[in-house]
Amino acid sequence: MDALEVKGAVKQFREGGNVIKALDNVSMKIREGEIVGLLGPNGAGKTTLISATCGLLELDSGEIKVFGKDALAQKEEVSGEINLITGFAGLLQGLSVENLLRYYAMLYNVREKETAIENVLAMTGLAGKRKQVAVTLSSGYKQRFYIAKALLSGPRLLLMDEPTVGLDVKSAMKIRMLVKKLRDDGKTILLTTHYMQRPNSSATG
Ligand SMILES: Nc1ncnc2c1ncn2[C@@H]1O[C@H](COP(=O)(O)OP(=O)(O)OP(=O)(O)O)[C@@H](O)[C@H]1O
Ligand SMILES: [Mg+2]
């Protein structure tokens, strides 16, 4: 089954007298178990497409289906299949990594919370940082935290908006390795990026 199907997506924004065409008849498909990167310059419409996929904004026309369900009309069902990693999730002041994950596990209504938390800590390589206050994590580990938090809800499709932006070469590489590990674990991943180097090159993005 397709994890994601975008058909003829159109979205315009009005800014003063100007009309900005953020999505101009975009169509794409992602099969379950794939990693797909949206590559494009600033303003290309990447975040707009991701927001529409999460049901955060309404298209002018076209449709988006997540595992066969309409991203907008069936938003509730879709939200159980999907999670978004933007790097802007709250890192409540003073809470440790594990306590913050407990907090999010409650919000997501996760069953078997402690088991789920152990699993996501292990998956993201955060177990050694569990006692650290989350806001004091380095950027690379903060990114892992956002991924761990998203995994708690048990999504089949992960949306990542620029997961390696602002990271040093090594941290960015580790996040890309983690993305592959998530795919090997059965997740489907749509990410946006400005990263254009070949996999064995050393630049960051
Ligand atoms: N809420 C909004 N109101 C007005 N214009 C918007 C809105 N959201 C996005 N836009 C415009 O739509 C276009 C696409 O924006 P979008 O954020 O999707 O691009 P992007 O590919 O994510 O860019 P970046 O690489 O900078 O994150 C831009 O011209 C942007 O200014
Ligand atoms: Mg963007």
pLDDT in tens, 75-104: 999 999 999 998 766 788 899 999 999 999
Q: How far is the CA of 132 from the centre of ligand 1 (A)?
A: 35
Q: Is 44 in the pocket of ligand 1 (CB under 6 A)?
A: yes
DSSP structure class, residue 88: -
In angstroms, the CA 31 to CA 43 distance is: 26
Closest to 62 measured CA to CA, from 75, 72, 77:
72
In angstroms, the CA 21 to CA 44 distance is: 9
Domains identified in the chain and CATH numbers: 1-81+158-205 (3.40.50.300), 88-154 (no CATH)
- Residue of minimum CA distance from atom 7 in ligand 1: 13
Condensed to tens digits (0 to 9), the pLDDT of residues 123-150 reads 999 999 999 999 999 999 999 999 999 9
Q: What is the pTM of this model?
A: 0.91
Q: Is 40 in the pocket of ligand 1 (CB under 6 A)?
A: yes
Q: Is 15 in the pocket of ligand 1 (CB under 6 A)?
A: yes
